[in-house]
Amino acid sequence: MPKSAQYLDVYLGALKEPWADYCKALGKKPGAAIKEAIEQQLAKAAANPQPKIYHQIYEAPAAEPKQRFEVLLTASEKAAIKERAQMERCSMRRWIVDAIRAGLTHEPQFGMNEIDALGESNYQLLALGRNLNQISRRLNEGAYEPVTVERIEALTRIVDNHTDVVNRAIRASLERWKVE
Protein backbone atom coordinates (compact mmCIF):
# COMPACT_ATOMS: atom_id res chain seq x y z
CA MET A 1 0.00 0.00 0.00
CA PRO A 2 1.48 3.38 -0.92
CA LYS A 3 2.26 5.65 2.01
CA SER A 4 -0.31 8.24 0.88
CA ALA A 5 -3.03 5.57 1.10
CA GLN A 6 -2.18 5.07 4.78
CA TYR A 7 -3.37 8.55 5.75
CA LEU A 8 -6.89 9.55 6.76
CA ASP A 9 -8.20 13.07 6.23
CA VAL A 10 -10.99 14.03 8.60
CA TYR A 11 -12.94 17.29 8.45
CA LEU A 12 -13.65 18.31 12.04
CA GLY A 13 -15.16 21.73 11.47
CA ALA A 14 -16.01 23.35 14.79
CA LEU A 15 -14.63 20.30 16.64
CA LYS A 16 -11.05 21.02 15.54
CA GLU A 17 -10.21 23.58 18.23
CA PRO A 18 -11.80 21.72 21.20
CA TRP A 19 -10.19 18.49 19.99
CA ALA A 20 -6.75 20.13 19.76
CA ASP A 21 -7.19 21.60 23.28
CA TYR A 22 -8.29 18.21 24.64
CA CYS A 23 -5.30 16.44 23.08
CA LYS A 24 -2.91 19.12 24.36
CA ALA A 25 -4.24 18.55 27.88
CA LEU A 26 -3.54 14.82 27.44
CA GLY A 27 -0.09 15.56 26.08
CA LYS A 28 -0.85 13.92 22.74
CA LYS A 29 -0.89 15.09 19.17
CA PRO A 30 -4.43 15.15 17.70
CA GLY A 31 -3.54 12.59 15.00
CA ALA A 32 -1.97 10.23 17.53
CA ALA A 33 -5.05 10.47 19.77
CA ILE A 34 -7.36 9.65 16.85
CA LYS A 35 -5.15 6.69 15.88
CA GLU A 36 -5.26 5.44 19.49
CA ALA A 37 -9.07 5.77 19.58
CA ILE A 38 -9.36 3.80 16.32
CA GLU A 39 -7.04 1.08 17.68
CA GLN A 40 -9.20 0.82 20.82
CA GLN A 41 -12.38 0.50 18.75
CA LEU A 42 -10.85 -2.19 16.52
CA ALA A 43 -9.59 -4.14 19.56
CA LYS A 44 -13.06 -3.92 21.11
CA ALA A 45 -14.66 -5.16 17.87
CA ALA A 46 -12.18 -8.06 17.66
CA ALA A 47 -12.92 -9.05 21.27
CA ASN A 48 -16.71 -8.94 20.70
CA PRO A 49 -17.33 -10.07 17.12
CA GLN A 50 -20.83 -9.50 15.80
CA PRO A 51 -22.76 -12.53 14.59
CA LYS A 52 -22.85 -12.99 10.84
CA ILE A 53 -25.93 -11.60 9.13
CA TYR A 54 -27.08 -13.94 6.39
CA HIS A 55 -28.67 -12.80 3.14
CA GLN A 56 -31.27 -14.43 0.94
CA ILE A 57 -29.22 -14.89 -2.22
CA TYR A 58 -31.56 -16.82 -4.50
CA GLU A 59 -34.73 -18.83 -4.40
CA ALA A 60 -34.21 -22.42 -3.27
CA PRO A 61 -35.49 -24.89 -5.89
CA ALA A 62 -38.87 -26.38 -4.97
CA ALA A 63 -37.38 -29.87 -5.40
CA GLU A 64 -34.66 -29.20 -2.82
CA PRO A 65 -35.43 -31.47 0.12
CA LYS A 66 -36.10 -29.83 3.45
CA GLN A 67 -34.22 -31.04 6.51
CA ARG A 68 -36.04 -31.98 9.69
CA PHE A 69 -35.05 -30.12 12.84
CA GLU A 70 -36.89 -30.85 16.07
CA VAL A 71 -37.52 -28.10 18.60
CA LEU A 72 -38.96 -28.75 22.03
CA LEU A 73 -41.16 -26.00 23.44
CA THR A 74 -42.90 -25.43 26.71
CA ALA A 75 -46.68 -25.57 26.60
CA SER A 76 -46.87 -21.79 26.96
CA GLU A 77 -44.36 -21.21 24.12
CA LYS A 78 -46.33 -23.51 21.82
CA ALA A 79 -49.60 -21.81 22.77
CA ALA A 80 -48.07 -18.38 22.10
CA ILE A 81 -46.78 -19.49 18.69
CA LYS A 82 -50.16 -20.99 17.83
CA GLU A 83 -51.91 -17.74 18.81
CA ARG A 84 -49.46 -15.58 16.83
CA ALA A 85 -49.67 -17.87 13.78
CA GLN A 86 -53.48 -17.65 13.83
CA MET A 87 -53.30 -13.85 14.08
CA GLU A 88 -50.95 -13.77 11.08
CA ARG A 89 -53.05 -16.32 9.15
CA CYS A 90 -50.28 -18.88 8.73
CA SER A 91 -49.30 -22.27 10.13
CA MET A 92 -47.18 -22.63 13.23
CA ARG A 93 -44.43 -24.16 11.09
CA ARG A 94 -44.54 -21.18 8.75
CA TRP A 95 -44.40 -18.75 11.66
CA ILE A 96 -41.34 -20.51 13.13
CA VAL A 97 -39.54 -20.57 9.75
CA ASP A 98 -40.26 -16.84 9.33
CA ALA A 99 -38.94 -16.12 12.83
CA ILE A 100 -35.75 -18.04 12.06
CA ARG A 101 -35.31 -16.23 8.73
CA ALA A 102 -35.84 -12.84 10.36
CA GLY A 103 -33.22 -13.70 12.99
CA LEU A 104 -30.69 -14.91 10.41
CA THR A 105 -31.15 -12.27 7.73
CA HIS A 106 -32.48 -9.23 9.63
CA GLU A 107 -34.90 -8.89 6.69
CA PRO A 108 -38.66 -8.59 7.08
CA GLN A 109 -40.80 -11.69 6.95
CA PHE A 110 -44.39 -10.65 6.43
CA GLY A 111 -47.59 -12.19 7.70
CA MET A 112 -50.57 -12.59 5.37
CA ASN A 113 -52.07 -9.26 6.46
CA GLU A 114 -48.89 -7.44 5.42
CA ILE A 115 -48.67 -9.41 2.20
CA ASP A 116 -52.28 -8.49 1.38
CA ALA A 117 -51.52 -4.81 2.08
CA LEU A 118 -48.33 -4.89 -0.02
CA GLY A 119 -50.19 -6.61 -2.87
CA GLU A 120 -52.90 -3.93 -2.80
CA SER A 121 -50.20 -1.24 -2.72
CA ASN A 122 -48.56 -2.71 -5.78
CA TYR A 123 -51.92 -2.99 -7.56
CA GLN A 124 -52.65 0.70 -6.96
CA LEU A 125 -49.14 1.79 -7.96
CA LEU A 126 -49.25 -0.24 -11.16
CA ALA A 127 -52.60 1.37 -12.03
CA LEU A 128 -51.01 4.78 -11.42
CA GLY A 129 -48.10 3.78 -13.64
CA ARG A 130 -50.47 2.76 -16.46
CA ASN A 131 -52.22 6.13 -16.24
CA LEU A 132 -48.89 7.95 -16.36
CA ASN A 133 -47.90 5.92 -19.41
CA GLN A 134 -51.14 6.93 -21.18
CA ILE A 135 -50.50 10.61 -20.45
CA SER A 136 -46.91 10.24 -21.60
CA ARG A 137 -48.04 8.66 -24.87
CA ARG A 138 -50.43 11.57 -25.50
CA LEU A 139 -47.64 14.05 -24.86
CA ASN A 140 -45.35 12.23 -27.27
CA GLU A 141 -48.13 12.34 -29.88
CA GLY A 142 -48.22 16.14 -29.54
CA ALA A 143 -51.50 16.41 -27.60
CA TYR A 144 -51.59 19.20 -24.99
CA GLU A 145 -51.15 18.14 -21.37
CA PRO A 146 -50.21 20.49 -18.52
CA VAL A 147 -47.28 18.30 -17.43
CA THR A 148 -43.90 17.53 -18.96
CA VAL A 149 -42.75 14.20 -20.36
CA GLU A 150 -39.67 14.28 -18.13
CA ARG A 151 -41.75 14.65 -14.98
CA ILE A 152 -44.01 11.77 -15.94
CA GLU A 153 -41.05 9.55 -16.82
CA ALA A 154 -39.46 10.36 -13.46
CA LEU A 155 -42.70 9.44 -11.66
CA THR A 156 -42.97 6.24 -13.68
CA ARG A 157 -39.42 5.26 -12.67
CA ILE A 158 -40.29 5.88 -9.01
CA VAL A 159 -43.39 3.72 -9.27
CA ASP A 160 -41.49 0.96 -11.10
CA ASN A 161 -38.72 0.98 -8.49
CA HIS A 162 -41.26 0.84 -5.67
CA THR A 163 -43.16 -2.07 -7.18
CA ASP A 164 -39.88 -3.97 -7.69
CA VAL A 165 -38.95 -3.46 -4.02
CA VAL A 166 -42.40 -4.51 -2.83
CA ASN A 167 -42.39 -7.58 -5.10
CA ARG A 168 -39.00 -8.65 -3.75
CA ALA A 169 -40.23 -8.19 -0.18
CA ILE A 170 -43.34 -10.28 -0.85
CA ARG A 171 -41.30 -13.01 -2.56
CA ALA A 172 -38.75 -13.03 0.27
CA SER A 173 -41.56 -13.65 2.70
CA LEU A 174 -43.49 -16.24 0.68
CA GLU A 175 -40.79 -18.34 -0.91
CA ARG A 176 -38.02 -20.49 0.50
CA TRP A 177 -34.59 -19.03 -0.14
CA LYS A 178 -31.11 -20.39 0.12
CA VAL A 179 -29.23 -18.35 2.70
CA GLU A 180 -25.50 -17.75 2.70
Q: What pLDDT digit, counting tens, does each position of 62-96 carry?
A: 788 889 999 999 999 999 999 999 988 899 999 99
Which of 35-44, 52-61, 148-157 tops mean pLDDT? 35-44
Structural domain contains residue 3 = no
Q: Do 92 and 175 fall into the same domain?
A: yes
Averaged pLDDT for residues 119-146? 81
On average, the pLDDT of the chain sits at 85
pTM for the complete prediction? 0.53
User: Is the confidence at residue 50, as pLDDT, over 70?
Assistant: yes
CA distance readout (Å), 147 to 24, 43, 153:
61, 57, 11
User: In this structure, what DSSP letter does residue 58 have?
Assistant: E
Do 130 and 62 belong to one domain? yes
Rounded Cα gap, residues 132 and 161, in angstroms: 15
Residue 102 forms part of a structural domain: yes
124 lies in some domain: yes
Are residues 26 and 99 both part of a single domain? no
